[in-house]
Amino acid sequence: MPITTRLSVPGDERVLHDLADRTFGLACPPGTTQADIDAFVATHLSVERFAGYLADPGRILLLVSDGDQPLGYSMLVRGPIADPNVAAVVDGATSIELSKFYLAAERHGSGAAGELMTATLTAAAGTGAATCWLGVNQQNTRAARFYGRHGFTIVGVKRFLVGSEWHDDHIRQRDLSSPDGSGSGGS
Ligand SMILES: CC(C)(COP(=O)(O)OP(=O)(O)OC[C@H]1O[C@@H](n2cnc3c(N)ncnc32)[C@H](O)[C@@H]1OP(=O)(O)O)[C@@H](O)C(=O)NCCC(=O)NCCS
């Protein structure tokens, strides 16, 4: 079946939760306890929380699927930046956050993540934002390579709380006006 992407809509909350439940731990550094992963999913990525995200006009969620089989999701978040480390290096007035980007493990390396990234960046640019930023664990070398290939460069560091453990993240950002994220028209 062809790989397709689409905007998520109310009613997708259970599919999104199921994907999040399968994939959130993949982005955590080795040593993260299953209890901390489960607590994070229960608190921030439950069916109810996704229903709230889908109803929030400041958020855009996307799904990538193989036929009717969901493979991954992303979430963009507009609005003021609360984290002072991010606010120090990202202009919250002109940037949009790529808050979630997760693909099922059995589809890593398949190209589906690239399809989801293309659709996500198109949606991000469609909001009028000039740049897109994200936080990613510093030990997540696979995601670092993927984001680097898609034009996100490291602009700072921050921390991210999972259960009782603080994780060290890189802040990455890319321009949305050019295909390669450089802001130079993609030349
Ligand atoms: C991050 C993610 C979306 C990327 O999708 P993907 O299909 O794995 O990406 P690709 O295979 O196209 O690219 C991954 C890159 O990592 C490299 N890679 C593959 N296995 C690797 C490994 N074990 N360690 C480090 N790099 C690895 C690939 O060669 C590729 O590098 P390249 O672009 O220089 O060739 C996906 O891995 C994922 O969902 N991971 C779990 C969730 C996650 O970490 N999300 C990010 C949260 S911020």
pLDDT digits (tens, 9 = 90+) for 150-172: 999 999 999 988 888 899 999 99
Average pLDDT of 80-107?
Answer: 97
pLDDT at 146 over 80: yes
Q: What is the pLDDT of residue 178?
A: 86
Instruction: Provide the whole-model pTM.
Output: 0.95
Count Cα atoms within 13 angstroms, Cβ side, for 55: 8
Place of tokens 């099922």: 104
Give the separation between CA 119 and CA 68, rounded to whole angstroms.
18
13-23 and 34-44 helices, crossing angle to 10°: 160
Three-state secondary-structure class, residue 60: strand
| Nearest partner of 98 among 147, 48, 26, judged by Cα | 147
105 lines ligand 1 (CB under 6 A): no
Three-state secondary-structure class, residue 153: strand
Q: What is the pLDDT of residue 182?
A: 84
CA 157 to chain centre: 17
Domain boundaries, the chain: 3-175
Q: What is the pLDDT of residue 185?
A: 61
Structure tokens at 159: 């921390």
Specify the CATH number of the domain 3-175: 3.40.630.30
pLDDT at 122 over 60: yes
- Strand boundaries in 67-152, DSSP class E: 69-77, 95-103, 131-137
Which of 75, 101, 145 is the pocket-test mutation for ligand 1 (most atoms within 8 Å of CB)?
A: 145
Average pLDDT of 64-81?
Answer: 96
Give the separation between CA 125 and CA 166, rounded to whole angstroms.
31
Which amino acid residue places its CA nearest to atom 31 of ligand 1? 145
- What confidence category does residue 187 fall into, taking pLDDT thresholds of 50, 70 and 90? very low
Three-state secondary-structure class, residue 160: strand
Which of 142, 158, 160 is the pocket-test mutation for ligand 1 (most atoms within 8 Å of CB)?
A: 142
- What confidence category does residue 174 fall into, taking pLDDT thresholds of 50, 70 and 90? very high
